[in-house]
Amino acid sequence: MSGDSLNLGSEQPFVSHLIELRDRLLRIVLAILILFLALFGFANDIYHYIASPLMELLPEGQSMIATGVISPFLTPFKLTLVLSFYIAIPYILYQVWGFIAPGLYKHERKMVMPLAASSTILFYVGMAFAYYVVFPLIFAFLTTTAPEGVEVMPDMKDYLDFVLKLFFAFGIAFEVPIATILLCWMGTTTPDSLREKRAYVIVGAFVIGMLLTPPDMISQTLLAIPMWLLFEAGILFAPFFMPKEDDDNGDDDPDSGKAARAPQAAPVISPSDKSSTEESTKKPFDPTEFKSDYLAPTDTEMEAELDRIEAEEDEAESSDTSSSELDDDAAESTSEEPLDEAAQAREDRARKQAQREADNIRMDHYESPISERYGELDAESERALDEELELMDGGDYDDDAEEFDEESEKDPSEQK
């Protein structure tokens, strides 16, 4: 693996990513350790500089104390270590950037670097604001509120915990513009939507100030007001970072945009494909394909539909009767030979079968056919169903007639 090279154009396996992550974490730890060793010799001077806002406001003759046995050594040690981390933040962000950059698009890489630099600067500005503005106001208030007879002598360890908490709170609070810009850039919200929620943001700023600062009104207000002003600054600059409509993942490849804008030729359809397309469009409607959208009709709608279908059938039957009469007249004029009994029986059975199919079509208008709902019928069940249909038609099921039909269909030589 090559040093700090980002390898933007090549893909790496999972193990190589883990190795790179380990290397970058080791570099971060090494950078913090080097800074700590360089600053540890000035640990007491650094602590005195951090404690000066309070020590300058203490009454004459009073000073800070150390109640712990190892506090005089451990407290400056802790301060130096935390300071080393804060100073190394730019290098830490650079290592994080070097690890995630290969997985970003070109326009995302252009966006991350300015945001990382500005977020680091804003964090340092928040810490400076806390040290030069907030600390003098808070300590001036706290040192004058002590009851009579109580000497103000803060412990050095408690003071360090207090100021580190404020440094971190103000450093994070000054990142509000970055958070606002990121939300608008990702499309989560818009500047207009954030303006409409300004009242809720102001209330939330005071709530955060209450949670992150000591229980006094001054520090809470000094944190909430900058957060609100920075929120307004974020809304002001967010429109410059809003995603454009023509931005997409193809920005990394200049040729991809040209290919997307090139006109595409209309597909050529052969006559066979055209005929198959027309046949597919003429496919009969299958209600089983739309079971999720199917709604059962009411009784009134069903009766009306049945009446309509019966009227259509009556009209068709009347037209068929008239045409059949004409055909019968033509047949009688051409041939005077009567039909034999077997042909008459086959015609009757064909007419009844057609009537049953019409009834099934009428029922299939509302529900799927019986064969689809219950499966195929065996020979015995089908015979029983034929008997029931014969009885419903007002006739008697005649086994002899069926046997006669089967015999008539045999070869005349076999009958002899």
Q: Which of 51-65, 178-192, 265-279 has the lowest mean pLDDT?
A: 265-279
**Res 366 pLDDT > 90:** no
Closest CA to 308 of 297, 296, 324, 323: 297
* Contact status, residue 366 vs residue 302, Cβ threshold 8 Å: yes
Tell how far CA 409 is from the center of its chain.
69
Those residues whose C-beta lies under 8 Å from the C-beta of residue 378, and which sit 6 or more positions away, are none
Reply yes or no on whether the pLDDT at 35 is more than 90.
Answer: yes
Local structure of 155: helix, strand or coil: strand
With 60 as the cut, is the pLDDT of residue 404 above it?
A: no
Alpha helices in 88-155 (DSSP H): 89-100, 106-129, 135-143
User: Where is pLDDT greater, at 118 or 187?
Assistant: 118
Judged against a pLDDT cut of 80, whether residue 280 lies above it is answered with: no
Average pLDDT, the chain: 75
Mean pLDDT for the stretch of residues 409-415:
50
Which amino acid would we find at residue 121? I
Of 62, 74, 230, 24, the residue nearest 146 (C-alpha) = 62
Q: For the segment 95-135, what is each residue's pLDDT rounded down to a tens digit?
A: 988 888 888 787 777 777 788 888 899 999 999 999 998 88
Nearest Cα to Cα of residue 66 among 88, 87, 51: 51
73 pLDDT band (50/70/90 cuts)? very high
Alpha carbon distance, N-terminus to C-terminus of the chain: 100
Ranges 225-234, 246-255, 407-416, most confident: 225-234
3-class secondary-structure state, position 270? coil
Question: Could you tell me the pLDDT band of residue 263, with boundaries at 50, 70 and 90?
Answer: very low
State the pLDDT at residue 143.
82
Is-contact 121 30, C-beta < 8 A? no
Higher local confidence (pLDDT), 358 or 26? 26
Copy the structure tokens of residue 394.
């007002």
Tens of pLDDT, residue by residue over 225-239, are 888 898 888 888 888
Over residues 360-387, the mean pLDDT reads: 64
pLDDT at 141: 82
* Residue-level pLDDT at 381: 77
Specify the amino acid at residue 323. S
pLDDT score of 255 more than 50: no
What pLDDT shows up at residue 81?
94
Q: How many residues does the chain have?
A: 416
- Alpha helices, H only, 282-396: 299-334, 341-364, 370-374, 379-392
59-63, 73-77, 315-319, 333-337: range with lowest mean pLDDT: 333-337
Amino acid 249: pLDDT: 47
What is the CB neighbour count within 10 angstroms for residue 72? 14
Contact 191, 235 (CB under 8 A): yes
pLDDT value for 336: 46
How far is residue 377's CA from residue 223's CA, in Å, rounded to a whole number?
82
**Percent of the chain topping pLDDT 70:** 68
> Which tokens go with 116?
């990382």
User: 65 has which bridge partners?
Assistant: 155
Rounded CA-CA distance 413/411 in Å is 5
Rounded to 5°, angle at Cα 313 from 312 and 315 = 65
pLDDT given at position 316: 81
Which two structure tokens, joined as six digits, stand for 285?
A: 């409607």
- The confidence score (pLDDT) of residue 45 equals 93
CA angle 203, 206, 208 (to 5 degrees): 110
Q: pTM of the prediction?
A: 0.53
- Summarize the confidence of residues 175-199 as an average pLDDT: 85
Using alpha carbons, select from 75, 40, 280 the residue that is nearest to residue 160. 75
How many other CB atoms are found less than 10 A from the CB of residue 144? 10
Asked if the model's pLDDT at residue 295 lies above 80, the reply is no
219 CB burial (10 A radius; 0-12, 13-18, 19+): buried
